[in-house]
Structures are given as C-alpha cells and as structure tokens.
Amino acid sequence: MDDERREAARVRNDELRGQVDSLLETFEQQRRDLAEAQSTLASTTVTAWSSDNLIRVVSNAAGVPVEVHVEPEAFKRSSPEKLGRSITEAVQAAARQAVDATQQAIAPMEDVTAGLPDLSDLVPGAPSIRDLVRTMFPEPPTPEAAPLPPDDETEDEYYRNRSYLQDRP
C-alpha cells in the first residue's frame, strides 16, 4: 500500500514539476516579449491630423503629445474656438492611434498566455493579471461633435479683416 501511495505521489510530483517548468518557460518567453515590446514602444510615435487639416499632433506610445504643429493658415481660416476643437480632435486621434500601437506591441505576449491559467485561477483571491493589463491601456475618449457657432462666417470675417486690432468704443 505504501508503495502505491509513493508511486502516486511521485506521479503527481512529476505532473506538477512539468506544469511549473511549462510556466517558467512561458514566463521567460513573456519576459523576452516584454523587453522587445518596451523597446518598440520607446521609439514609437503616431501622427494624427484634425479633420480640417489645420493641426497635426505627434504622440508617443503613451498617447502624450510630443509635437503639435499648427498650419499657418489656421490663424486666417479659423477662430480660437474652432482651433481649440481642432487641437482636441487631433490629440484624441493621436491617443487612439497610440493605444492601437501599444496593443499591437503587446499582442505577442497575450498570444503566449492565452492557454495559461491566470493568477486568480491558481491562487484564490489573487488579482487577475489579465484584468490588470487591460486597465493599463484605457481607451481615450471619443470626440463629441460640438456644434459650430451660428455666426461662424462672422467670426472668420472678424479675424480675416483683423478687426480685433481696431479700437472699439
């Protein structure tokens, strides 16, 4: 009877050792993939334009603008309010592109771990690593279409004729 128990324990130990070895191999692959993704993301930038082509924003992989370019004709064709909306639109578009680039960079890690149990599956009450990774890359807000002011043409004329430079009573 003792020999049967020892054999069963040995078989179970061998199975657990195989699982641990597999997890360690996966961990090492994830570590290599993470280092590669970090290297890729460190040099990644994305570029987005506003729909009126007056504003160009270059952002890093975190979605942080690193360059904002305003076309010279923006000051002739736009009002401060419209220019503000254009900047917001371009920044948000660049942030969405940055999220996409980041997700593409980490996709190989997700592929490797797809068949593995999550930490919360192995340790009751432990946090889910997959949920933690998902919260690291929140979606930037989608732009809301703001209505244009009704006197849009009047504002453009105001700036075109430089009437803001004239004295007002």
Q: What is the pLDDT along the chain (169 residues), one digit of tens a residue?
A: 688 889 999 998 888 888 878 877 877 877 787 788 788 888 899 999 999 999 999 999 989 999 999 999 988 888 899 999 999 999 999 999 999 988 888 777 777 666 667 767 777 777 776 676 666 555 555 655 544 455 455 555 655 565 555 665 5
CATH number at residue 39: 3.30.1310.10
Q: What is the pTM of this model?
A: 0.58
Q: Is residue 94 part of a domain?
A: yes
Give the pLDDT confidence score for residue 124 in this predicted structure.
Answer: 77
Q: Phi/psi of residue 164, each to 5°?
A: -70, -15
Q: Which residues of 36-70 are buried (b: 16+ CB within 10 A; e: fewer)?
A: ebeeebeebebebbbebebbbbebbbebebeeeeb
Question: Residue 118: inside a domain, yes or no?
Answer: yes
Is residue 116 domain-resident? yes
Examine residue 112 and state whether it is found in any structural domain, yes or no.
yes
Is 151 within the bounds of a domain?
Answer: no
The answer to whether residue 25 is domain-embedded is yes
**Can you tell me the distance from the alpha carbon of 97 to that of 82, in angstroms, rounded to the nearest whole number?**
23
State the pLDDT at residue 26: 74
Q: What is the pLDDT of residue 97?
A: 94
Domain count of the chain?
A: 1
CB count in 10 Å sphere of residue 31: 11
CA dihedral 103→92→46→39, nearest 10 degrees, is -40
- Domain with 60 in it: 2-144
